[in-house]
Amino acid sequence: MRNVVTWMRRKDEKYFAPFLARYPDIKIWNAARRKVPLEQMNGLLLTGGPDVAPEFVNQPVPDPSILDKDMDADRDRWEFEAIKHALDRGLPLFAICKGMQTLNVALGGTLHLDIPGHNLPEMKTHDLQPLRSDRGARHRFEKVNSSHHQAIDQLGQGLEIESWCAIDDIIEQVRLRDHPFALAVQYHPERGTIYDELFDDFITRVRDAGKGEIE
């Protein structure tokens, strides 16, 4: 059995459960609920959540009032450590929304700390936001359910853009060069019905990753 580790909020579990239930040979370990030995993971799933805490970002925060009130420095610290483990070992990594921002920061990038027009209520579960994608992108969607108030500004080292918002060029999908599989998306595939291929691709890579099982 392969092990995927994550830090997932309780309120997000209901969205991920239908996707993850399709892979009975994959064990999901939620660090929000219990201690997880990172050395035994076969893949890392970075999920959505509150803003990265100011002490971790690679830039000044002139107006802290624009940030989420429920930031979690303990989660950020764990995720940065998990990212380092995954990248050092060449393990598959799939990052969603806050996870994409965390990955970018971990690689030395910066963020737009507050952007307009990307967190309307109808964007949470409906595929409304048009994208334009690089021809080399493995996964391409015409419209996505993107809901967020922060986004990538300066790219972290090794990241390449795969998709942008067709309206304002906000980065919506990136990949990490020279890594077996590291895909990050700003939209929310766990809340949609057209994104099975993303989870299937990630899990296929996890099945091929190094052996190990958490006791």
Tell me if 41 sits within 8 A of 29, measured CB to CB.
yes
Among 79, 162, 172, 190, the active-site one is 190
Q: How far apart are CA 162 and CA 83, in angstroms?
A: 20
DSSP per residue, 147-199:
--S-EESSPPTTEEEEEEETTT--EEEEEETTSSSEEEESS-GGG-SS-HHHH
188 belongs to the catalytic site: yes
Side chain identity, residue 61: V
190 belongs to the catalytic site: yes
Tell me if 96 sits within 8 A of 47, measured CB to CB.
yes
Among 97, 118, 162, 165, the active-site one is 97
Q: Of 143, 39, 16, which is closest to residue 91 (Cα–Cα)?
A: 39
148 belongs to the catalytic site: no
Among 79, 118, 172, 188, the active-site one is 188
Q: How far apart are CA 171 and CA 118, in angstroms?
A: 11
Residues acting as catalytic residues = 97, 188, 190
